């Protein structure tokens, strides 16, 4: 990424919302459940599984958190009705973690009641302890249809894997999107990759089911080599990617016989998620800069 591009990426929050919306459309299934269902149907028809995310985070009103929980129950009902191969992913702050731990727990229990598998996404490091506490408590209460996410960026993650090992958790391992201070996180991309593989090894050693969530070609190769060295069968791991990212590679991996799950976000609150995706897209910064300049100069939308 050029210096200009990285400056633009930092300035993305200042880019007009319609420009962000235009460029991020590929990452979002749509505003409505019907649109999300259509995307999941198409993915399933192409041999991929899905996990649906109702967009919304850092929610500050209790009634809004209940609204999100209801939206998830609607998603789960649609998955059941249409016999879709999909589970759901939830963000603790969307269910009210920022308001109270108990509220978040109650909302999550509501969603778990439907019986489908629910994965708790991992948000920034201020939420890690409570997210892992929530996971442990619910698993100890017998909710086995629950998985969690761990971030290779964080220095604590190998310790967290050791601490969770008795639960044999289902874990999505990812690099971690939230930029964290060097005191608690690896900041060098190579160090994050190395820790990703160390975490994957630790999870597989602990007998965990792992969702390997990355679009990084080197990491995909190294992860699949580990899976193969351990003689794991097709049902004993999965690869995961985000909607709108590296779709051709995703199809190749499915054709090679790997199970692939696609993260399908939908909903009205598309903005924060979209900015994060655009910030990660190495080719996008310059394009957005040109579109923003054209818009500000009154030449196009
Ligand atoms: C299914 C899934 C669930 C996730 N859940 C969480 C979570 O709960 N918590 C969390 O902190 N993070 C989560 N993430 C995000 C993750 O932590 C990374 O920030 C993200 O995946 C980018 O890292 P990468 O491993 O793909 O490597 P990168 O080095 O960022 O990307 C590798 C290559 O992929 C392509 N690419 C990556 N992103 C884009 C993009 N937006 N547009 C176009 N091309 C792109 C580019 O070719 C890039 O060079 C999730 C990721 C996935 C795939």
| Average pLDDT of the residues in 277-281 | 83
Q: What tokens appear for 33 in the block?
A: 């459940």
Q: What residues contact residue 74 under an 8 Å CB cut-off, 6+ apart?
A: 33
> What is the rounded distance in angstroms from the CA atom of residue 172 to the CA atom of residue 238?
9
State the average pLDDT for the chain.
92
Q: Give the distance (Å) from ligand 1 centre to CA of residue 217.
A: 11
- Owner of token pair 């009902």: 77
Q: What residues contact residue 155 under an 8 Å CB cut-off, 6+ apart?
A: 184, 185, 186, 195
The three-state secondary structure class of 257 is: coil
> Is residue 258 within 8 Å of residue 230, measured between CB atoms?
no
pLDDT in tens, 79-119: 999 999 999 999 999 999 999 999 999 999 999 999 999 99
> What is the rounded distance in angstroms from the CA atom of residue 35 to the CA atom of residue 41?
10
Ligand 1 in reach of 122 Cβ (< 6 A) = yes
> Is residue 149 within 8 Å of residue 119, measured between CB atoms?
yes
Which of 176, 245, 235, 243 shows the shortest CA–CA distance to 210? Answer: 235
| Average pLDDT of the residues in 163-182 | 97
Cα three-residue angle 204-209-52, rounded to 5 degrees? 140
Highest-pLDDT range among 19-28, 159-168, 268-277: 159-168
Ligand 1 in reach of 213 Cβ (< 6 A) = yes
Question: Would you say the C-alpha torsion 85, 89, 95, 100 has a positive or negative sign?
Answer: positive
The fraction of the chain above a pLDDT of 90, given in percent, is 78
172 among known catalytic residues: yes
Which of 121, 210, 214, 217 for mutating ligand 1's site (highest number of atoms within 8 Å of CB)? Answer: 214
Catalytic site residue from 105, 139, 153, 172: 172
Q: Give the distance (Å) from ligand 1 centre to CA of residue 63.
A: 31
pLDDT in tens, 31-87: 999 999 999 999 999 999 999 999 987 788 999 999 999 999 999 999 999 999 999
Ligand 1 in reach of 23 Cβ (< 6 A) = no
pTM: 0.94
pLDDT in tens, 197-246: 999 999 999 999 999 999 999 999 999 999 999 999 999 999 999 999 99
> What is the rounded distance in angstroms from the CA atom of residue 222 to the CA atom of residue 185?
22
pLDDT the model gives residue 205: 97
Longest dimension (CA), the chain: 60
**Residue scoring higher pLDDT (263 or 14):** 263
295 among known catalytic residues: no
Which of 101, 103, 169 shows the shortest CA–CA distance to 131? Answer: 101
Is pLDDT of 9 > 80?
Answer: no
């Amino acid at each position: 990424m050029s210096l200009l591009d990285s400056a633009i990426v930092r300035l993305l929050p200042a880019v007009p919302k319609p420009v962000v919306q235009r460029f991020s459309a590929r990452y979002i299934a749509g505003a409505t459940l019907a649109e999300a269902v259509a995307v999941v149907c198409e993915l399933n028809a192409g041999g991929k599984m899905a996990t649906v995310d109702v967009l919304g985070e850092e929610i500050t009103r209790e009634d809004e958190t209940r609204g999100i929980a209801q939206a998830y129950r609607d998603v789960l009902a649609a998955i059941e009705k249409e016999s879709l191969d999909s589970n759901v992913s939830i963000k603790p702050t969307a269910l009210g973690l920022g308001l109270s731990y108990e509220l978040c727990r109650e909302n999550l229990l509501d969603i778990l009641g439907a019986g489908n598998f629910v994965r708790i996404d991992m948000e920034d490091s201020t939420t890690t302890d409570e997210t892992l506490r929530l996971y442990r408590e619910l698993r100890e209460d017998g909710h086995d249809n629950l998985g969690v996410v761990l971030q290779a960026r964080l220095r604590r993650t190998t310790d967290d894997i050791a601490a969770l090992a008795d639960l044999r958790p289902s874990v999505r391992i990812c690099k971690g999107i939230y930029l964290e201070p060097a005191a608690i996180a690896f900041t060098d991309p190579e160090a994050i990759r190395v820790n990703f593989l160390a975490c994957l090894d630790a999870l597989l050693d602990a007998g965990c089911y792992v969702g390997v969530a990355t679009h990084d070609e080197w990491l995909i190769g190294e992860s699949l080599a580990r899976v193969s060295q351990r003689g794991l069968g097709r049902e004993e791991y999965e690869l995961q990617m985000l909607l709108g990212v590296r779709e051709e590679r995703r199809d190749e991996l499915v054709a090679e016989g790997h199970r692939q799950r696609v993260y399908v976000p939908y909903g009205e609150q598309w903005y924060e998620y979209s900015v994060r995706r655009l910030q990660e897209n190495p080719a996008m910064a310059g394009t957005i800069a040109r579109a923003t300049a054209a818009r500000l100069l009154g030449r196009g939308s």
